[in-house]
Amino acid sequence: MNFLLVFIGGGIGSVLRYLIGIGFQKTNFSLPISTLISNVTACLIFALTVNFIESKCETSSPLKLLVLTGICGGLSTFSTFGYETFLLLKQQNYLWMLLNIFLSVILCLSCFFLIKK
């Protein structure tokens, strides 16, 4: 059953990531905005889910496998973030590279701070 929850969640997260990519493929940003949005969304979902689970005092919830491991694992894109940041560096696009790193870290951490006040 656990494998099935992770499998279903991963499929949902991957499809969400794909849809976000399609939604932003025609933008002219140098900043990889779809990756940023995917990662921030995954962090927000993760923070909300952890907050919900902790409020219910559940330590081993199927919700953790479905949402945290599955959906957030399929939606977040750290490897893509690393590659796109590398490409910005290789293109000597230093401002966008630094902005990508800064925004990704600050916005993703902010999701947890906002939810866990």
Binned at pLDDT 50, 70 and 90, residue 56 comes out as: confident
Average pLDDT of span 43-65:
85
What is the rounded CA–CA span in Å between residue 71 and residue 75? 6
pTM: 0.82
What is the rounded CA–CA span in Å between residue 60 and residue 96? 41
Q: How many domains does the chain have?
A: 1
| Residue 39 reports pLDDT greater than 90 | yes
Greater pLDDT, 57 or 71 = 71
Residue pair 72/46 in contact (Cβ under 8 Å)? The answer is yes
| Region class of 60: left (phi > 0), else alpha (psi between -120 and 50), else beta | beta
Structure tokens at 42: 């995954």
| CA-to-CA dists, residue 26 to 30, 50, 84, 104, angstroms | 12, 34, 17, 21
In the Cβ-directed half-sphere of 67, how many Cα atoms lie within 13 Å?
Answer: 18
Residue pair 66/46 in contact (Cβ under 8 Å)? The answer is no
Q: What is the mean pLDDT of the chain?
A: 91
Q: Which domain holds residue 28?
A: 2-115
Residue type, 58: E
